[in-house]
Amino acid sequence: MTDKITEKCVKYDYITVAGTSEYFNLWRQTKSIAQDVLEGMPLPAGTQMADPKFAREYRQEQRRLMRTTYDFGNKMMFLAQGVRALREYGAVGNFRTFIYFTTGYTKLQRQAVEKAAAKYASPDRIFPISTVGELITLINDATFPDETCERKIKRIDIFCHGLPEMLEFGYDGRLEDDQRFEDEQVSKLDPARFELPHKLKADIYSWACQTGNDDKNNWGGLAPALAKHTQARVHAYARRTLYSKSFHTGGKSESEAGLIRLDDGKEHIVIWHPDGALGGVTEGNTPGSAPSGRKVFE
């Protein structure tokens, strides 16, 4: 098949990659930890704790306000952002590919994300994986199935945990070592997949924490290594990134915003939206000594 590939016959792939957050079980239900903290929240100065009715009503009101203004996040946040990216950016490719690490997700959670991704991904382009090796193989594929045109990658969006010098697709999980992406893995990528005709440039967006940070809180780290090897533009942050807008209700209640519960009856309860994340990833303010903003490495 590859002997039929010509420069004039190229088809583009848009890829979104979502890691797992096996340990991240915050906001298990449709209330946030911050709401639980309200149970111990001090009452306004001058209020008599001897008035239990006022205390109860005050906390109920604060809880109600928080339910309609607070940002939600949970272990599904990377998956939700991956679906949102397909929806927002997938049009740049002839094909739209969704890749996600399955470790730590229940059967119900996987069914929900695949159903959501199928609305925007190309047919047969949803890939559940468990190792970085599988990810590299998928990225390096020279053609699409049943296609003779060469496969080129137009854009990749990456959603996972991150540390300086590494992407953590399974941070603190059972397969952490097999789900870590470092310089060694960068060198295994095929630069030809990112070499676009007509002097166009491929783009790689890392929405993980600190992809553009070196170990001294300066611009650097994994991002420039990835850009140098692939010759793609790599967009990355030196500071941590925040996923708390993933299920941000915008002042609406959960039901008004379209959020649902995924409950398998085994205490695995998370909130989810059938269309993926409601809001995008934002930049945090730590580490404070690291440069702010998103930098393009090329």
Tens-place pLDDT, residues 220-237: 999 999 999 999 999 999
Contacts of 93 (CB under 8 A, 6+ apart): 12, 13, 14, 15, 154, 155
User: Which pLDDT value is given to residue 249?
Assistant: 82
Residue 199 has pLDDT above 70, yes or no: yes
Measured CA to CA, the distance from residue 83 to residue 98 in angstroms comes to 8
CB 145 within 8 A of CB 97: no
User: What's the pTM value of the predicted model, to 2 decimals?
Assistant: 0.84
More confident residue, 202 or 284: 202
User: Which pLDDT value is given to residue 173?
Assistant: 85
More confident residue, 53 or 26: 53
Peptide bond into 287 cis (omega under 30): yes
Tens-place pLDDT, residues 158-196: 999 999 999 999 988 889 999 999 999 999 999 999 999
What are 155's strand-pairing partners? 14, 203
Measured CA to CA, the distance from residue 109 to residue 76 in angstroms comes to 8
Contacts of 228 (CB under 8 A, 6+ apart): none
Measured CA to CA, the distance from residue 99 to residue 159 in angstroms comes to 10
CB 28 within 8 A of CB 269: yes
Contacts of 6 (CB under 8 A, 6+ apart): 150
